[in-house]
Amino acid sequence: MNDLIKKLVEAYGPSGFEDHMRDLIRPEVEPYVDEMSVDALGNLITLKKGDGSGLKVMIAAHMDEIGVMVTHITKEGFLRFTNIGGVRPHGLWGSRVQFANGVIGMIGSDRIDDRSKIHPLSKHYIDVGATSAEDCPVGVGDAAGFVQPFFTNGKLLTSKTMDDRIGCVVAIEALKRLETTPHDVYFVFSVQEEVGTRGAEAAANGIDPDVGIALDVTITGDVPECPPMSVSLGKGAAIKVKDSGMIAHAGLVRLMRQRAEAANIAHQMEVLDGGSTDARSIQ
């Protein structure tokens, strides 16, 4: 499974530019589904048909990642940029980004004399090795994703875009193992989650599911100086009860707990103060 994880987490796919991710996922799931389509927004929607006696179930995992988009090219060839999703300036300096055409750039920032301050995004730039605007290999409106290799440390995995390529892997593996079901199960690999769960909203409007489940990541409460939280790394899947965008259906939460306990699956209950997932748009 690590080979599939590596392939997906290292792939390019900022919000709005998920085509490559969709092309990687499609052959993984096509042999196991009864129907597959791509909607107008770019969601990859697959259907495993039931026997007609069950419900319509939508399971969503988003393909997109946070990134940056070029807003201006200076006469010296440096790229000014804006964010795609939740990009925070305090960790950008020295980061590598890659554009769809394969060009890699390094993020720098304007001179700062007060080291106690953090430059806003507008004071950062990308250096792609160009010497002028004319010889710059990318243009205004081009998007880039971050570059970070996948590696393992025992049972721990580290990479960019675990949010939410790991959810895509879980969906793919679940789909492969789902042999029969009374339900019509829609596995949706959604777009533009990082900029407002837009893809899941469009997909849910089209599918009109009876049950919706989002597969995504969360933060933990077991790192230094973090907000108190009952979720810890390595102690099982987190079953969300509430976040800033939705309150989970109590019956569905109860069912998940019961099934996890019956199968001896380690699990934790999650209440997240900030942030949300595709679940809010499905709901």
Q: Is 24 helix (H, G, I), strand (E, B) or coil?
A: helix
Q: Taking every pair of C-alpha atoms in the chain, what is the biggest distance, in angstroms?
A: 68
Q: Are 149 and 10 in contact (CB under 8 A)?
A: yes
Q: Which residue is catalytic, options 18, 28, 65, 193?
A: 193
Pairing of β 156-158 and β 151-153: antiparallel
193 labelled catalytic = yes
- In angstroms, the Cα distances linking 116 to 23, 113, 119 are 44, 9, 10
d(CA 38, CA 54) in angstroms, rounded, equals 24
Angle at 155 between CA 153 and CA 158, to 5 degrees: 50
60: its two tokens: 């969503």
> By C-alpha distance, which of 83, 110, 108, 106 is closest to 96?
106
Q: Would the CA dihedral through 121, 122, 124, 129 be positive or negative?
A: positive
Pairing of β 44-48 and β 96-99: unpaired
Q: Which residues of 197-216 are buried (b: 16+ CB within 10 A; e: fewer)?
A: bbbbbbbbebbebebbbbbb
Residues with a catalytic annotation lie at: 193
